[in-house]
Amino acid sequence: MFENEMNLNFLSLSENESFARIAVAAFVAQLDPTLEEINEVKTAVSEAVTNSIIHGYPHTNGFIYLNCKIKGDRMELAISDQGCGILDIKEAKQPLFTTRPDLERSGMGFTIMESFVDEIQVESAEGNGTTVRLIKRFKTAKRAIHSGV
């Protein structure tokens, strides 16, 4: 089985949202994804990183840790922060739920992540940060792996 892995650490600055999604998109490009699949990955990464910036580190800048593994036709992505944590994960995942209506947050971040990947797991503890794990299978990956791309 083809395997690959990369790690990125970056500060929780909004400038790094596009950096993170473009880096992950470039990394998974070796699986020969469709444009739609790439767009889904970029959107899910952007949601998770934005959550860490806004909710994880609301008053300070901290580091966001991104680990991306390719295992055959699967991408396993973990996006972590060491920030505030989520008080109630079940509530946070509800569509339209937001703790920051003052920032015009739509409350659709987790709903979009759930729609754009195959599996999502959220681990969080108050004061001890949050890790969002995203798993996605690429329909085109087998072709890329077999052709040695």
5 included as an active-site residue: no
Interacting span for another protein (CB under 8 A) from 59-67, 79-87, 111-119, 140-148: 111-119
Catalytic residue among 39, 67, 105, 114: 105
User: Does 15 participate in binding another protein (rule CB under 8 A)?
Assistant: yes
Is residue 21 within 8 A of residue 66, CB to CB? The reply is no
Check residue 82 for interaction with another protein (CB under 8 A). Answer: no
- Rounded to whole angstroms, what are the CA distances from 87 to 20, 32, 55, 62, 99? 26, 38, 11, 19, 11
Q: Catalytic residue at 51?
A: yes
Residue count, binding to another protein (CB under 8 A) = 27
Q: What token pair was written down for 27?
A: 């990394």
Q: Does 81 participate in binding another protein (rule CB under 8 A)?
A: no
Q: Which of 9, 14, 34, 121 binds another protein (CB under 8 A)?
A: 14
Return the range that interacts with another protein (CB under 8 A); candidates 14-22, 60-68, 77-85, 125-133.
14-22
Check binding of 111 to another protein (CB under 8 A): yes
Tell me which DSSP letter residue 107 carries.
Answer: S
Which residues lie across from 64 on neighbouring strands? Answer: 10, 81
Are 145 and 2 contacting, i.e. CB atoms less than 8 angstroms apart? yes
Buried b (16+ CB within 10 A) or exposed e, 62-90: bebbbbbbbeebbbebbbbbbbbbbeeee
Residues that bind another protein (CB under 8 A): 14-15, 17-18, 21, 35-36, 39-40, 42-43, 46-47, 50, 53-54, 103-109, 111-112, 115-116
Annotated active-site positions, please?
47, 51, 105
